[in-house]
Amino acid sequence: MIAQVPTVPWPVTTQWLFGLLGAAAVVYLGLSIATQARKLWGRRPPIDDDFARLRLEMKTGDEALGRRMDQLDEQYISLQTERERTWRELKDEISAVREDLSFIRGRMEKGHRP
């Protein structure tokens, strides 16, 4: 039975193996080129992801800036109110001192001494 199997010529077999290896390499090369082309000309280029990220960062930055501006407005209003209250108190104190001075001046002009 073993005698009936023809012998395989090795030069022909190696040619077939190199041919199959070359065909597999061509298929692999074609698939890798197709994958890279799909990445390059796909529906969403990678730069769109960067733009989306930047838009989100700008939106969060705008919101943070808006909150900070609101805080500064509140601080300004409270400082303005405090300044007005302090100014009113100072005016009341100045008026009281002015009344005391006019009273003392009036007594001095009349010649009354305490």
What are the pLDDT digits (tens) for 36-51? Answer: 888 877 766 567 778 8
The answer to whether position 74 is within a domain reads: yes
The answer to whether position 97 is within a domain reads: yes
Task: For tokens 């969403």, name the residue.
Answer: 44
The answer to whether position 49 is within a domain reads: yes
What are the pLDDT digits (tens) for 67-107? Answer: 999 999 999 999 999 999 999 999 999 999 999 899 888 88
Range of the domain at 99: 33-114
Instruction: Count Cα neighbours of 59 within 13 Å in the Cβ-side half-sphere.
Output: 6
The answer to whether position 76 is within a domain reads: yes
Per the structure, the count of domains in the chain is 1
Tell me the whole-structure pTM to 2 decimals: 0.43
C-alpha distance across the termini of the chain, in Å = 152
